[in-house]
Chains A and B, each alone.
Chain A
Amino acid sequence: ENVLTQSPGTLSLSPGERVTLSCRASQSVSSTYLAWYQAKVGQAPRLLMYGISSRATGIPDRFSGSGSGTDFTLTINRLEPEDFAVYYCQQYGSPPLTFGGGTKVELK
């Protein structure tokens, strides 16, 4: 299976900062089959990005995705208070679909 490794495990940041989250795959991800999710304790996870760089419905444009092959990035410009959460990447190009271990973005 295609193992996804996210780094760093935790980021301590302040509102207004720019953050870059990394997702590295053990095998090349087929086509553009990579998604990102945001998860908060006690809430339903939320789809942020799919197809590497397409924003899901209602996702603000401060979120952007990029990358190809085995290296992918989720960027959040100007962190808002509601952005402090755990972020997961997911590949769906080869079965079984797999998720990364997550990066926690916490308030500094």
Chain B
Amino acid sequence: EVQMVESGGDLVQPGESLRLSCAASGFTFSNYVMNWVRRAPGKGLEWVSYIDTSSETIYYADSVKGRFSISRDNAKNSLYLQMNNLRDEDTAVYYCARDWGRSQPRWFFDLWGRGTLVTVSS
């Protein structure tokens, strides 16, 4: 079955760190560029970060730049998001999302995980 499963979400205090993981299965993970997208409570979706197939090209939303770090391990079919210095406004469900364009980004997403909840609160 083609799917992605996120994990690592938790309740943390402001300033703390968290690492999210996304395990992909049923497709050739290394052939696809990947993204993280989040949905804060009561708000719409927000793109967070992008990584290409070889981890050479990486982008971040301004809201997380300097605090979050995206990475991938193609041998383990896994995507990661290291989140440091977390803020209240980072509270959200975090989704990994596969780009429709495979190795050439098209910037819309044809496969998502169910998400993992990150809550930042004191």
Q: Which residues does A use to contact B, with CB under 8 Å?
A: 6, 33, 35, 37, 39, 42-47, 50, 56-57, 88, 90, 92, 95-102
Question: Which of A39, A45, A90 has most chain B Cβ within 10 Å?
Answer: A45
Distance (whole angstroms) from the CB of A14 to the closest CB of chain B: 26
Chain B's interface: helix, strand, loop or mixed, by majority? strand
> Could you tell me if B114 and A88 are in contact, using CB atoms closer than 8 angstroms?
no
Closest to A47 in B: B110
> Could you tell me if A50 and B47 are in contact, using CB atoms closer than 8 angstroms?
no
Complex interface: chain B residues within 8 A of A6 (CB):
44
> Could you tell me if A101 and B100 are in contact, using CB atoms closer than 8 angstroms?
no
Closest to A51 in B: B108
Complex interface: chain B residues within 8 A of A96 (CB):
47, 61-62
Complex interface: chain A residues within 8 A of B113 (CB):
44
Complex interface: chain B residues within 8 A of A92 (CB):
106-108
A35 CA / B46 CA spacing, docked (Å): 14
Complex interface: chain A residues within 8 A of B43 (CB):
101
Indicate which residue in B3, B39, B47, B95 contacts A97 across the interface (CB closer than 8 Å).
B47
Known A-B contacts A44-B95, A45-B95, A50-B108; the reply to A98 vs B47 at CB < 8 A is yes
Complex interface: chain B residues within 8 A of A99 (CB):
37, 44-47
A43 CA / B46 CA spacing, docked (Å): 17
Given A44-B113, A92-B107, A98-B47, 11 further pairs, Cβ under 8 A: A35-B108, A42-B114, A45-B112, A47-B108, A50-B106, A56-B110, A57-B110, A96-B47, A96-B62, A99-B37, A102-B45
